[in-house]
């Protein structure tokens, strides 16, 4: 399933000397130590390691959901067009709730959380949650509700969901269905990078295989993907490179 080797592709994400510590003083707990990682367009990189070693923390840092104690994270520039929003051009439909800075860019990175409910608003129907990343577009191309709904309908079968689930609330779906919805949310806006934390953990074998095939297809289209998993066999088949995260350090896994 591994896609063609993208070793000559441009880099899209670069982490340099990344370290992270929780707590201070005697209570300080260093999770990551001097992690260096560069991901290229179209590359799938796997990360594995014992429970509690910091794999999920690494993804949260790369997704900029947390700020590292030390080090830097860079994303390649992604060209956008169109004017920046001004008060003279009020937002269309429900974009008013988004930060202004989010309205003039497409997402650099989209996470798939191990707990899928973390990315699904309990008040919204599934179609609205999964298409929210589409609102992070240049101002004049912000899609209307009808276009967002159509986009979700076009991709829903690819993650093994019934189209009727788009109108359901997260509380009305199983954990496996919520996981597939979270994966749909990650791909709908065509991000530079997808960060997948145990993306098939809540899925049966056949649906999980379909999701992995979908991720491989996204990589063929140029999306860089980092997959965290305990499934070493799956990582060996899916990934171009694999790393072991242990004792806070990231080490290449030899074949």
Indicate the domain borders of the chain: 1-76+231-255
Q: Assess whether pLDDT exceeds 90 at residue 123.
A: yes
Q: How confident is the model at residue 99 (pLDDT cuts 50, 70, 90)?
A: very low
Across the range 104-124, mean pLDDT stands at 81
Reply yes or no on whether the pLDDT at 249 is more than 70: yes
Burial class (CB in 10 A: 0-12, 13-18, 19+), 107: buried
Please report, rounded to a whole number, the percentage of residues in the chain having pLDDT higher than 70.
84
Span 34-51, mean pLDDT? Answer: 96
Q: What is the CATH number of domain 1-76+231-255?
A: 3.40.50.300
The per-residue pLDDT for range 221-240, each reduced to its tens digit, is 999 999 999 999 999 999 99
Q: What six digits make up the tokens of 156?
A: 């829903």
What is the mean pLDDT of the segment spanning 37-56?
95
- Tell me the average pLDDT across 201-216: 86
pLDDT at 164: 95
pTM: 0.82
Pairwise CA distance, residues 116 & 35, whole Å: 26
| Residue positions counted in the chain | 255
> What distances in angstroms separate CA 120 from CA 145, 155, 164, 252, 254, one per listed residue?
17, 17, 17, 34, 37
Residue 67 has pLDDT above 80, yes or no: yes
Q: Which residue, chain included where needed, has tokens 């001097």? A: 34
Average pLDDT over residues 183-200: 92
Structure tokens at 121: 């608003």
Predicted pLDDT of residue 47:
98
The reported pLDDT for the residue numbered 224 is 97
């Amino acid at each position: 399933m591994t896609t063609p080797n993208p070793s000559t592709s441009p880099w899209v994400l670069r982490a340099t000397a990344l370290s992270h510590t929780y707590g201070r003083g005697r209570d300080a707990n260093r999770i990551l130590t001097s992690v260096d990682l560069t991901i290229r367009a179209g590359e799938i990189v796997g990360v594995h390691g014992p429970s509690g070693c910091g794999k999920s923390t690494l993804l949260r840092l790369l997704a900029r959901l947390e700020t590292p104690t030390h080090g830097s994270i860079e994303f390649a520039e992604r060209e956008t067009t169109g004017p920046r929003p001004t008060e003279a051009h009020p937002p269309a439909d429900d974009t008013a709730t988004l930060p202004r800075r989010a309205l003039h860019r497409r997402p650099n990175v989209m996470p798939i959380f191990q707990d899928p409910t973390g990315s699904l608003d309990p008040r919204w129907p599934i179609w609205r949650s999964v298409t929210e990343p589409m609102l992070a577009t240049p101002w004049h191309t912000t899609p209307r509700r009808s276009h967002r709904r159509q986009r979700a309908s076009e991709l829903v079968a690819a993650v093994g969901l019934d189209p009727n689930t788009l109108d359901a609330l997260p509380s009305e779906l199983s954990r496996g269905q919520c996981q597939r919805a979270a994966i749909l949310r990650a791909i709908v806006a065509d991000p530079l990078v997808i960060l997948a934390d145990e993306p098939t953990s809540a899925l049966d074998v056949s649906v999980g295989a379909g999701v992995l095939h979908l991720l491989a297809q996204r990589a063929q289209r140029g999306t860089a993907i980092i997959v965290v998993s305990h499934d070493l066999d799956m990582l060996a088949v899916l990934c171009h490179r694999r790393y072991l995260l242990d004792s806070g350090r990231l080490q290449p896994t030899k074949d």
